[in-house]
Each structure stands twice: as structure tokens, then as C-alpha cells.
Amino acid sequence: MKEKVLSQSPIFAQNEQEANRYSCRCLQVMALVALLAWVLNLLHIFIVPPAVMNVGMPLCLFSFLLPTFLSRRIRQPDLRFKYVIMGCCILGIAVLSTAIPKHMVLGWVAPVLLCCHYYSRKLTANILAASVVCMFIAGIASLYIGEGDPNMLDGMAIAEAVITPRVFWEAVLFFLVPRAIILVGLSFVSLTVADRTRGLLEKQAADASSRQRIETELNVATQIQADMLPSIFPAFPERPEFDVYAGMVPAREVGGDFYDYFLVDNDHLALVIADVSGKGVPAALFMVIAKTLLKNAAQTGLSPKVVLEKVNNQLCENNQAEMFVTVWLGIYEISTGRLTAANAGHEYPALCRKGGRFSLLKDRHGFVLAGMEEARYREYELTLAPGDILFLYTDGVAEATDSANELYGTDRMLEALNSVPGAAPQRLLETVKDSVDRFVGDSPQFDDITMLAFQRKDPGAGKSMRVVPALDRLPEVCAFLEQTLLENGAPPKAVAQVNIAADELFSNIARYSGAADAAVDCRVTANRAVIRFLDDGRPYDPTTQPEPDVSLSAEEREIGGLGIFMVKKTMDRVSYEYANGHNVLTIEKRW
């Protein structure tokens, strides 16, 4: 049963095909030898009676070559084909053995030896049995119709080949039986070879399947790790005040680099780039811990310095593997453009002021995280003006090497960054990646390549208003939006549609949210307006409301849900988030 199951595994199925091929080839060689013997006999170099050879040889050639012929005809031979091959082999040898028994003594080992190809005990045993039986038949037949074995006959001093019962039994007892015993003994070699090779093959099959399992798990791990990094761009479409883009190309299946960005609160954005020492699975596991701890600490509103100190101590606990991580962490204040950052042994960020060129920001480095307990970190501040871009990267960029082992270096990186003046974050990353790829050429990628670019943008002209969430204040809200939009060149139709949306959204807030305070914020850039409605009421996401059936007749119609449905249909984007005790509903209208 076990043998059968394993026989179906790809390795054994493949072996079966190969064994068939090799066995056919062996039989071809045997046919060639038989042919040679025949020819030599015809040339009278061998002195077997020609009549015997002329009958026996064609028969034996036919037997030896039949499997080759069949294997070319049958496209997918099944497990029984090996018995056909063995049968032909035994038949051929039996014919030869009948004709010229003394020359064929060794030939009887051939079928059993051929069985070695198949790693099957059962086959070897069956073929041994068949060989012994056929050897007896052929041996006896040779006494009567063949070239009686002189070994037998001479010893028994029989002049003419007259087979008396005594001669017969002596031939059997003293010649055929000992040969059969020796054949059985030799066949054990074949049996043990079959067993041993089969064991090796089974081990190989098991290894292959466990290797495949590990590979599958690694792929899943890579996916999990990739999913841990925020990768939906634009990352904050409702925030016209900044743009962030990031990407990672892992060197092996799983990498130790990571980046992260997230809102700490409505006005603060955390930016993280980090590189864990080492590579592969250990680095990836450490990365998961470091990333989680950093995010947890930063989200409590701590400053970068305090976050790094806290996470450093957390990572130092039980860090038996002696791993560490370099981190650059910045907290950006959206309303003012002020960036507070701290660097734990990470590469210098590159900064480009609006209209200027990228250069390295030689900030003060602290020690790596998880390197030493109670390490102190410093933080620094810089203010980004609209248009300024900060570019963060890991050493996979700077230390990419070409085939001559030369480093890519930060100079080439700055050159690439400066080759596309005015480019947005995404374009910058693509440019640097292309530049690195071109530099590296066909050399393998040693380290993860991770980059993050952040740009403060001009949020556009706009205003905010605070308003008591009551229905009778709706005209005020509409007037505010209308004025802001018209001042900034929005077409009347867009204004009307925004007004309809404001009617739906603000009346919802006034009626159902229970809010005591609300605000409306309207930003207009070029050809789009981004309007945010904030309220401190119960968390409620109107965008998840089921869509109404707009195909019903007047009598069946219900009006619920129609308002938000209209907003979704007429605006270019509607999104909701709950942050810091506020419902924030953002709509965007383009024209």
C-alpha cells in the first residue's frame, strides 16, 4: 500500500519512466551482443551449429528489441510496462540459453540486475522467480533440442546426446539447481540495492515536500510583511497640505527594512524609516516588533526623542539575538510645517527646499535602537515650507554595488534626485530606483531598498468656519462654501452640487449626531475643492449606508439614504474617518 502511494508521487513516477528507458537501452545492448555472436558464428569464428543460431537469434533479437519498439508507440506507459520489458528480457535469454546454454550461464543474472532500476522488492522477487523457472525450462529444453551443455554432458561421459532419465536428473540436480541457488544469492544484491535506493528516494521526496512547505510559508511571510507597510497611494487624499510616497524592494524573501507613516492626531503626522541589522526571517521578525513598538509609542503623542528612548529600552529587553535597528523618526505638524525629528543611527535624510537642490541634512545621530539600554537621543526641529521635500532612504540605496563592487553612494543618489527638479514624491522614488537599477546592472541585490519622500504642499486657498450644528445654521454654511468656492473660480454648477452635498451632510449632523460643535473647512486648488465636515457627535460613518433602490415606482419609493447617495454620485470622492473624538467627512469636487 505504502509502495503504491509513493509510486504515485512525482519522483517515483519520474523514476519509473527513466527506469523503463534505461532498461530498454540495456536490452538494446544485449540485442547488439547477440547480433555480434550470430555474425561471428556465420563467419565460422564461433562454432555453434548454424541451424541452432539461425533459429534462436532472430527470436532473441525480436524479444530484446520489442520493448524499445513498444515504448516508442505507447505515449504514457503505465506501471505494467516494466513487466513487459522484463518478460521480453527473460524470453530472449531463455531462447539463447536453450540454444547455447553454456554461454548463457551469466546471462541469467541480467533480468534480476535490470530490476535494480525500479527500486521495487516485489518486482525483483517476481522476476527472480520467473528467471529460475525459465532457467530450468531452458536448461532442460537445451538437453533435447539445443546445444546440450558440454559441461553437463562431458562430465557424465555420454557420447551421443541420448538423454536417459539418469542423465536428466543429474543435469537438473548437479547443474541447474546449483545455478538457481547462486542466482538467488546474487539477486539479494539487487534486492538490497532496490531497498536502499528506494529509501534515499523517499527521503528526497520528503525533503522536497518540506522544502516546498517552507517556501510557501516564506511567501506568506513576505505577503504579511508587505501588508504591514502602508502601500495605498495617495496615502492621505483628504489632506491637500502634504504628499507622502514610499516603497520597499526586499532583497531576499523577507527583509528587515521598513517605513511607516500615520496620523498621530488631526494635526500631526509621524514619518518612520528604519533598517534592521541582518537579513531574512530573523530581521523580518525583529522588524515587526520594532515597527509595532514605534507606532504604539508615537501614537501616544510622545516626542521623537522620548519615543526612541522608550522603544530602545523595550527592544533591549530579552534581545538575545543581539539584533539592532537604525531608525529615523519625524513628527510633522501639519498646520505649521514644523518637523521634529530624531535619528537613531540611520542615514542622513536628504532635504530639498522649494526650487533648490537636494542635499544631505547632516543631523545628529544617536546610537542604534536595541544596542544599549538607557541610550539617550536628541531631537531637532526644522520647518518645512510649502514645496519643500524630505527624502528618506535605507543603506540599501547608498550601498547598492555594481559588478565591480563599487558603491552607489549618496552622491549618485543626490544626483538622481536633482535630475528631476520639481518632481513629486512618487516620481522621485521612481527616479532613484531607476538610477540604482542602472548602476547595479546584473549584480544581485544584497540589501532591501527602501525609500520615503514627504512633501509639504500648498494646501490652496481656503477657509474654515466653526458653526453650531443646528438646522437653522445651514444657510450660513452654504453661504460660506459658496463664497469660498466662487472666490476661487469654481463654476456655478459645482457650487450648486457642493451646496446640495452640504445640505445633506450638515443636516445629518444637526439632526442625528448629537454634536455640540462642528466645523467646515474648504480648500480650493486649481480645479478641485476639498471640503471637510467635522463634528464632535457620535461616531457614525454615513458612507457605509446601503444604497437605495432608485428603480422603484413612486408608490414604493422611500426617501431614506437618498441624500448620502446623491453626495456620493455628484462628488468625486467621499471619505470618512473618526479621529480624536471627531467625525471627519471629506468630500472632493473637481471641475
Partner 1 sequence: MNIIKTKEGAHLTLALEGRLDTTTAPQLEAEVKGTLTDVTELTLDFARLEYLSSAGLRVILAAQKLMNKQGKMVIRHVNETIQEVFEVTGFIDILTIE
Angstrom distance (rounded) from CA 140 to CA 138: 5
Q: Which residues between 304 and 343 bind partner 1 (CB under 8 A)?
A: none
- Closest alpha carbon to 126 in 186, 92, 83, 166: 83
Q: DSSP assignment of 344-357, as one string?
A: ESPPPPEEE-TTS-
Q: Where are the alpha helices (DSSP H) in 317-394?
A: none
Of 178 and 475, the one with the shorter C-beta distance to partner 1 is 475
Question: What is the closest distance, in whole angstroms, from the C-beta atom of residue 544 to partner 1 in the complex?
Answer: 17
Dist CA 456 CA 386 (whole Å): 5
Q: How many residues bind partner 1 (CB under 8 A)?
A: 29
Q: How far apart are CA 218 and CA 279, in angstroms?
A: 13
* Smallest separation, CB 528 to partner 1 (Å): 18
Transcribe 452-520 into DSSP letters: EEEEE----EEEEEEE---GGGHHHHHHHHHHHHHHTT--HHHHHHHHHHHHHHHHHIIIII--S-EEE
Minimum Å distance from CB 562 to partner 1?
5
- Work out how close the CB of 438 gets to partner 1 at its nearest, in angstroms, rounded to a whole number: 50
Burial call 263-276: b when 16+ CB within 10 Å, e when fewer: bbebebbbbbbbbb
Backbone angles phi, psi at 193, to 5 degrees: -60, -45
Q: Residue 475 CB, nearest distance to partner 1 (Å)?
A: 6
- Smallest separation, CB 547 to partner 1 (Å): 11
**Nearest to partner 1 of 322, 472 (CB atom):** 472
Considering the complex, what minimum distance in angstroms separates the CB of residue 468 from partner 1?
15
Cα angle, residue 145 at apex, residues 140 and 150 outer, rounded to 5°:
70
Q: Of 507, 525, 545, 575, which one interacts with partner 1 (CB under 8 A)? A: 507
Q: How far is the CB of 554 from partner 1 (least distance, A)?
A: 4
Measured N-to-C along each axis, helices 474-487 and 492-508 cross at an angle, to the nearest 10 degrees, of: 150
Site for partner 1 in 175-234 (CB under 8 A): none
- Residue 526's identity, in one-letter code, is A
Distance between CA atoms of residues 428 and 418, nearest Å: 9
List 253, 402, 430, 503, residue binding partner 1 (CB under 8 A): 503
CB-CB contact of 76 with 91 (8 Å): no
Q: Whose Cβ is closer to partner 1: residue 47's or residue 550's?
A: 550
| Residue with Cβ nearer partner 1 (174 or 565) | 565
d(CA 258, CA 21): 53
Q: How far is the CB of 401 from partner 1 (least distance, A)?
A: 58
CA-nearest of 332, 260, 336, 266 to 291 is 260
For partner 1, give the closer residue by CB, 519 or 562: 562
Stretch that binds partner 1, among 227-235, 366-374, 401-409, 550-558 (CB under 8 A): 550-558
Q: Which is nearer to partner 1, 315 or 567 (CB)?
A: 567
Residue whose CB is less far from partner 1, 267 or 572: 572
Nearest partner of 287 among 245, 322, 256, 324, judged by Cα? 256
Cα separation, 401 vs 263, in Å, equals 36
CB of 553 to partner 1, least distance (A): 6
On whether the CB atoms of residues 306 and 260 are closer than 8 A, the answer is: no
Q: Which is nearer to partner 1, 177 or 500 (CB)?
A: 500
Rounded distance between C-alpha atoms, residue 293 and residue 151, angstroms: 90
156 vs 479, beta carbon nearer partner 1: 479
Nearest approach, Cβ of residue 513 and partner 1 (Å):
15
Q: Which stretch binds partner 1 (CB under 8 A): 8-16, 238-246, 362-370, 544-552?
A: 544-552
Q: Which DSSP symbol is given to 548? A: P
Contact positions with partner 1 (CB under 8 A) in 49-108: none
166 vs 493 by CB, closer to partner 1: 493
Q: Which of 5, 51, 526, 550 binds partner 1 (CB under 8 A)?
A: 550
Q: Which is nearer to partner 1, 42 or 468 (CB)?
A: 468
For partner 1, the closer of residues 359 and 499 by Cβ is 499
Task: State which residue, 120 or 497, has the beta carbon closest to partner 1.
Answer: 497
Between 23 and 570, whose beta carbon lies closer to partner 1?
570
Tell me, residue by residue from 551 to 580, as one string, x for binding to partner 1 by CB under 8 A and - for no binding. Answer: xxxxx-x-x--xx-xx--xx----------
Gyration radius (Cα) of the chain, Å: 43
Q: Is 409 helix (H, G, I), strand (E, B) or coil?
A: helix
The neighbouring-strand residues paired with 350 are 360, 391
**By the 8 A CB rule, do 322 and 286 touch?**
no
- Which residues touch 190 (CB under 8 Å, ≥6 apart)? 112, 113, 115, 116, 124, 128
x-or-dash pattern for partner 1, window 347-376, by CB under 8 A?
Answer: ------------------------------
Minimum CB separation of residue 531 from partner 1 in Å reads 15
- Told to check if 546 binds partner 1 by CB under 8 A, we report no
Spatial distance between the Cα atoms of 591 and 490, rounded to a whole number of angstroms: 8
String of contacts with partner 1 for each residue 463-502, x by CB under 8 A = --------xx-xx--x--------------x--xx-xx--
In angstroms, what is the minimal distance from the CB of 537 to partner 1? 17
Per CB under 8 A, which region of 102-110, 434-442, 447-455, 547-555 contacts partner 1? Answer: 547-555
* Binding track over 386-425 against partner 1, x by CB under 8 A: ----------------------------------------
Q: How far is the CB of 462 from partner 1 (least distance, A)?
A: 22
Is residue 554 classed as helix, strand or coil in its secondary structure?
A: coil
Cα–Cα distance measured from residue 357 to residue 510, given in angstroms and rounded to the nearest whole number: 50
CB closer to partner 1, 420 vs 471 = 471
Minimum gap (Å) between residue 546 Cβ and partner 1: 15
Give the footprint of partner 1 on this chain (CB under 8 A). 471-472, 474-475, 478, 493, 496-497, 499-500, 503-504, 507, 548-555, 557, 559, 562-563, 565-566, 569-570
